[in-house]
Amino acid sequence: MNPASSTSATTPPPIIDCDIHPAASKAYPVEPFIPEEFREAMRQGMGGEPGHGHANPFGVTRRDASCDDPHQVGRDHLDRYGIAYAVLQPPGMRVSLTHNIDVGSGKARAWNDWQINTWLAADRRYLGSVCVNVRDPDRAAAEIHRAGEHPQMVQVNVGGDSDDLYGHRRYFSIYQACADMDLPLCLHPGSEGSLDSSTPVGRPSTYFEWHTGIPITFQAHLISMVTEGVFAKFPRLRLVLCEGGVAWLAHTCWRMDKNFKALRATTPWLKRLPSEYVFEQVRLTTQPLEEPANPEHQLQLFEMIQAHRTLMFATDFPHWDFDDPTRVFPRKIDAALRRRIMYDNAAELYGLPPADEVTREARGALTQV
Amino acid sequence: MNPASSTSATTPPPIIDCDIHPAASKAYPVEPFIPEEFREAMRQGMGGEPGHGHANPFGVTRRDASCDDPHQVGRDHLDRYGIAYAVLQPPGMRVSLTHNIDVGSGKARAWNDWQINTWLAADRRYLGSVCVNVRDPDRAAAEIHRAGEHPQMVQVNVGGDSDDLYGHRRYFSIYQACADMDLPLCLHPGSEGSLDSSTPVGRPSTYFEWHTGIPITFQAHLISMVTEGVFAKFPRLRLVLCEGGVAWLAHTCWRMDKNFKALRATTPWLKRLPSEYVFEQVRLTTQPLEEPANPEHQLQLFEMIQAHRTLMFATDFPHWDFDDPTRVFPRKIDAALRRRIMYDNAAELYGLPPADEVTREARGALTQV
């Protein structure tokens, strides 16, 4: 089955996968892209990032898959499911945790050049995420302007763990650069608990507990960005909440809207209901999608969070909790809604061709493999 | 209107209010109940609790109400709405934050004796919450056995902010005492951010932001208690999540259940799906109830969190975001579900008489006023 390269009438609609995790490998190493001035520092261990101490005891990568060769992933993942585009979430999303700020910024640049020269060069279906060191906002802004010029770079990545809530103005130069370059900001987890506890009241014991709590950081950052007025002040900014769950968005919006009524005098920059900023400027990726026992609840939840415009499909390939595009949604999901989640919402956000032009596009991409 | 003291056929069903906030006052001071050995320490300022720095700019108490006189509240709040029972959430819920551990435990005892000798003595409709210092778990357990003997003491109170997640075994002697005394544990917010940030990634800027994020701590504590096996190890323990929102319970349960499938080998004490422990052993109070623009969403959410057995009504009298029992629910709510939320769920949890016996009960209570 290779729907992306077929033009038959039975071709299933194309898919955009907003979250795959390429790894460096012997064939595609990152070292050549480390700026020369930081190579000695890296060799001396000054580029290490703190760990959070919560390892998945069964491994994070699926035992039947790997993601360290763009050509193999093109066949094993993109071709297999008819994925027209896949957004890379590179290892560089953790660079902001590096204690040596210059090394952190150097690593961000390296992961960007690595993406451009390996994965993005190998196949036009891959789309890149600009890595930045949020502890060095001005340099991060410059890097967004530099690496963001590449036509396959579609967003700017930051990690869940951070020194400060993302509504703080220390990060505003990053948001200005995103808005200037028309690149959404993408928040991805993976490092919560590296700098401080991953909850406000202590450290989880197990990976199970830690992983279940990932939406906690996402809620904190989103509430911060909305109430501090990031979306009001940067109306062109778009935020992608990637791999942090989706169902919590309903109660977070309801709670913000309710409090806004009584407390809006303290946030005079908010001219509309908090949820209006969210539904207009925030998008979420599906994986890991919550799976209530009653599939009806899933569909109700989709309506509550306006999934027809906010939700974008993702697999998290090749990780352990990978969501299979053929199985992840309830059977009763409306076909038009499914298409918007599987393709249209991401295509509109990232400026990709509409679904009906995709077969040709994807075929073009495949000839490069 | 005084439905609680009327026996007419048009009497509306009785209400249990699970969250009212009595304050000490000149007429009802707490000082006489401070154990003598700590009075000097209190006078010297050793009993102060750290603050969290997020004041509601408009004040926390409604300008048209106060809650420092049990008789006045009986008329102004209980009689007005036909509230058959009201559970006190006394100021003592913050004592665990006191740096001086002995003073903290002394204050817990004082707030219990204050409740018993003022509010509980004044009106049988008031039900008390045993305050404990969770930093001194053995003394807390002893206090639960002592103060919990009073027939109007119906639960044990702890605050959202804490040194550790409530799944940690340092708290197990408290849970054992709760189970032994058949008293639910009640988690109430109000102090998040006093010990450390109220989010894992920095401190909110405004009360609006801080208050919106209160469910963050609740999620962290609940995930901890479930995955660490508190409910499996203390099958008689019941947990009340008070004033922390309710709509987040759906996604938290879904996420726990999904992760349980892959990661349950790391929590071998869990013999059932995480959500099964939750729906059997956890209850939530309504206020502040999320209010989606589409009331249908509220009712769908109620079904997702099994509101017919988990949800218990509360007003948070006399606080700024008080929920009026006559207005808080969507009009289309099923009458039987409404009755369970307004009375039955709390009556079953706290061992109170069934609704049809309440008029007589409440009349009895009123004669004491």
Out of B209, B215, B297, name the one closest to residue A227 (CB). B209
Contact of B38 with B102, CB cutoff 8 Å: yes
Which chain B positions have a beta carbon within 8 Å of A291's beta carbon?
254, 257-258
The reply to whether residue A297 touches residue B300, judged by beta carbons under 8 angstroms, is yes
- Partners of A192 on chain B (C-beta within 8 Å) are 200
**Nearest chain B residue (CA) to A303:** B297
Does the beta-carbon distance from B204 to A291 stay under 8 Å?
no
B169/B164 Cα distance (integer angstroms): 10
- List CB contacts of A144: < 8 A, sequence separation 6 or more: A130, A132, A156, A174, A177, A178, A181, A183
Nearest CA in chain B to A216: B216
Q: Using CA coordinates, name the residue in chain B closest to A54.
A: B266
* Distance (Å) from the alpha carbon of B246 to chain A's nearest alpha carbon: 8
- Does the pLDDT of residue A179 top 70, yes or no? yes
**Coil, strand or helix: which one is B83?**
strand
Asked whether the predicted pLDDT for residue A149 surpasses 60, the reply is yes
Mean per-residue pLDDT over chain A, rounded: 93
Give the length of chain A.
Answer: 369
Which residue out of B63, B254, B272 would a mutagenesis test of the A interface target, given it has the greatest number of A Cβ atoms within 10 Å?
A: B254
Q: Do residue A167 and residue B205 have CB atoms under 8 angstroms apart? A: yes
Q: Hey, are the CB atoms on A217 and B228 less than 8 Å from each other?
A: no
Cβ contact B304–A321 (<8 Å): no
Question: Which residues of chain A are within 8 Å of residue B213 when distances are taken between CB atoms?
Answer: 219-220, 223
List of chain A residues whose C-beta atoms are within 8 Å of the C-beta of residue B256: 212
Could you tell me which chain B residue has the CA closest to the CA of A297?
A: B304
> What confidence score (pLDDT) does residue A53 get?
87
For chain A, report the end-to-end CA distance as a whole number of angstroms.
17
Residues of A in contact with B202 (CB under 8 A): 162-165, 168, 220, 224
Q: What is the pLDDT of residues A183-241, one digit of tens each?
A: 999 999 978 999 999 999 999 999 999 999 999 999 999 999 999 999 999 999 999 99
User: In this complex, which of B162, B196, B251 lies closest to A248 when CB atoms are compared?
Assistant: B251
For residue A256, list chain B residues with Cβ-Cβ distance below 8 A. Answer: 212
CA pair distance A248, A245, nearest whole angstrom: 7
Taking 70 as the threshold, does the pLDDT of residue A9 lie above it?
no
Q: Which of B61, B208, B223, B252 is the best residue to mutate to test the A interface, defined by the most A CB atoms within 10 Å of its own CB?
A: B208
Q: Is the pLDDT of residue A6 over 70?
A: no
How are strands ordered across the β-sheet holding B126-131? Answer: B15-20, B83-88, B126-131, B153-159, B185-188, B239-241, B282-285, B311-312
CB contact under 8 A, A57 and B263: yes
Instruction: Read off the pLDDT of residues B15-74 as tens digits, 9 standing for 90 and up.
Output: 999 999 999 999 999 999 999 999 988 888 888 889 888 889 888 999 899 999 999 999
A367 falls in which pLDDT band (50, 70, 90)?
very low
User: A326-335 contacts: CB < 8 A, separation 24 or more?
Assistant: A326/A81, A328/A286, A328/A287, A328/A289, A329/A289, A329/A298, A330/A295, A330/A296, A330/A298, A330/A299, A331/A295, A332/A295, A332/A296, A332/A299, A333/A299, A333/A302
CB contact under 8 A, B257 and A223: no
ipTM over 0.85: yes
- What is the percentage of chain A residues whose pLDDT exceeds 70? 94
Contact at CB, A248 and B245, closer than 8 angstroms = no
Q: Which two tokens stand for residue B300?
A: 């769908």
Q: How confident is the model over A103-118, as pLDDT tens digits?
A: 999 999 999 999 999 9
Q: Which pLDDT belongs to residue B369? A: 33
Predicted structure pTM score? 0.94
Distance CA A51, CA A38 (A): 21
* Beta-bridge mates of residue A186: A157, A240
| Mutation site, A208, A249, A304, interface B, largest B CB count within 10 A | A208
Q: Which of A255, A260, A264 sits opposite B290 (nearest CB)?
A: A255
CA distance A262 to chain B (A): 8
Which pLDDT does position B2 carry in this prediction? 43
CA angle (B329 as vertex; B336, B90 as ends), nearest 5: 100
CB contact under 8 A, A250 and B219: no
Residue B68 burial (CB count, 10 A)? 17
The pLDDT of residue A255 = 98
Question: Taking CB atoms and an 8 Å limit, are A163 and B202 in contact across chains?
Answer: yes
- Residue of B199, B210, B275 to mutate for A, most A C-beta atoms under 10 A: B199
Question: pLDDT tens digit string along A284-338?
Answer: 999 999 999 999 999 999 999 999 999 999 999 999 999 999 999 989 999 999 9
CB contact under 8 Å between B57 and A266, yes or no, is yes
Q: What is the full per-residue pLDDT of chain B (369 aa) written as tens digits?
A: 344 444 444 567 899 999 999 999 999 999 999 999 999 888 888 888 898 888 898 889 998 999 999 999 999 999 999 999 999 999 988 999 999 999 999 999 999 999 999 999 999 999 999 999 999 999 999 999 999 999 999 999 999 999 999 999 999 999 999 999 999 999 999 889 999 999 999 999 999 999 999 999 999 999 999 999 999 999 999 999 999 999 999 999 999 999 999 999 999 999 999 999 999 999 999 999 999 999 999 999 999 999 999 999 999 999 999 999 999 998 999 999 999 999 999 999 999 999 999 875 565 554 443
Q: Do B165 and A219 touch (CB under 8 A)?
A: no
Q: Tell me the C-alpha distance between B129 and B150, whole Å.
A: 10
User: Which chain B residues are Cβ-neighbours of A258 within 8 angstroms?
Assistant: 288, 290-291, 321
Count the neighbouring beta carbons within 10 Å of the beta carbon of residue A332.
9
Q: How many CB pairs under 8 A join A and B?
A: 235
Average pLDDT over residues A13-42: 94
Cβ–Cβ gap A263/B203 under 8 Å: no
Report yes or no: A118 and A49 within 8 Å, Cβ to Cβ.
Answer: no
Q: Which residues of B touch A263 (CB under 8 A)?
A: 56-58, 206-208, 211
Nearest CB among A205, A217, A290 relative to B228 is that of A205
The strand pairing partners of B6, in sequence order, are none
Mutation for testing the A interface, residue in B216, B261, B289 having most A CBs under 10 Å: B216
| Of the partner residues B58, B199, B257, the one whose CB lies closest to the CB of residue A200 | B199
Chain A residue at shortest CA distance from B251 = A247
Task: Give the confidence band of A136 by pLDDT, cuts at 50, 70, 90.
Answer: very high
* Cα B70 from Cα A187, distance rounded (Å): 50
Please judge whether A202 and B164 are an interchain contact, meaning their C-beta atoms are less than 8 angstroms apart: yes
